[in-house]
Structure 1
């Protein structure tokens, strides 16, 4: 628990320094619920719903709804540590603000391995983000680690740590290419054999090749059920 307290204090310090030092900072709160359903040992589905609201916008604090995401992935296991997946997502924006809804198609390859206690993961994604006036193609690579915070093996009720770094490239006809970078850290608990809870934060550097980088903070809460 001392590690969790240190991480919590560090997160608060990062938030405090960032919010005081940057004017171009946007903050979101994003709770999410997900269900994993295995049809067979090599094929399964993932369904999730995520709600996103501002807690910081234009230097003003306050919760304001932004969007609602409905997501489905179908995953095929190629080997014990490799899989491919296809995803479809619909983002509702027009019910909260004057913005276009979005349909997103995703193709994914995932590779992971655990030489010792720490598990490493490499994820490659291509996406097509389709709105009324524009289709944006996005290419993503994420490196992730996770490990138990107590002992060598994760037991029920014990915490674990998940961390990742992701690079993104977005291209669209008639638009300049956009480069983004994301850092994510979360603490999770295996509360039951089928149930997990994760809380944490993600920091995004959006358009980091532009004259003024956009800083985005996400406060994350995720519940995950495996059937």
Structure 2
């Protein structure tokens, strides 16, 4: 197993272990089911349903589901492993956090991929508009990602793979100070067949890097179906 593959696996467990040692840590469980549907070789849809539940709360103000996300994303493939995408998401908060908490989110994206032997690298540039009842927040995001098989040079059905992400994010809006976030995640995945794969992972977020923001840990799971 190559060095970079070992690093991907170690990050998955090391990040979770180190985060639990912080007293002000907030922790979430986030399962997701995702459906990919290609209309043409160059145009595809993605539909997803995500639940976020609080399970580590240093304020002792309660745990449980805090919101549900329903999302749709359209991706258009371009030459030279480039793509653009448009997305819309509705975040349902009101049953869990009270009135006037729901959110509508619009997304625009450009993605660039390249491959070095068995390792695939990706650069994603994304802008978002978070439309809340009281204000609109604009976000600018850059993510560097890498993934590859754990066995051999090519991923085949019945084999494991790894994914690692590092993302920087800026949020701005009228009447609020800019907020800078940093996110790092690591996943282990299993390709069951050409139509289904399962991923489990962890993500560490530092929200408000210069505003004494709290660390946040996510325990993630995802079922991805392809039609």
TM-score (norm 1): 0.92
Determine which structure has greater relative contact order: mean sequence separation of CA pairs < 8 Å that are 6+ residues apart, divided by chain length.
2
Does structure 1 retain, via aligned residues, the 8 Å contact 2:15–2:204? no
Deviations 1:90-138 (A, max 9, x none): 0000011126100000000000011211000000000000010010000
Q: Is 114-123 or 93-102 further displaced after alignment? A: 93-102
Please state if 1:158 is matched with 2:159.
Answer: yes
2:33 and 2:50 in contact (8 A); partners too:
yes
Where structure 2 has 5 or more consecutive residues not aligned to the other structure, the ranges are none
From the superposition, tell whether residues 131 and 164 of structure 1 become closer, same or farther in structure 2 (CA, over 3 Å): same
Q: Pairwise mapping of residues 129-208 of structure 1 onto structure 2 (< 5 A)?
A: 129-208=130-209
Number of equivalent positions: 222
Distance 1:120 1:11 in 2: 18
Worse-superposed segment, 188-197 or 72-81: 72-81
Cα pair 2:137 2:172 within 8 Å, conserved: yes
- Using the size of structure 2 for normalisation, the TM-score is 0.92
Structure 1 residues 59 and 23: CA distance shift in structure 2, 3 A: farther
> Which residue of structure 1 lines up, in the alignment, with residue 123 of structure 2?
122
The 2-side partners of 1:144 and 1:92 are apart by 29
Unaligned runs of 5+ in 1: none
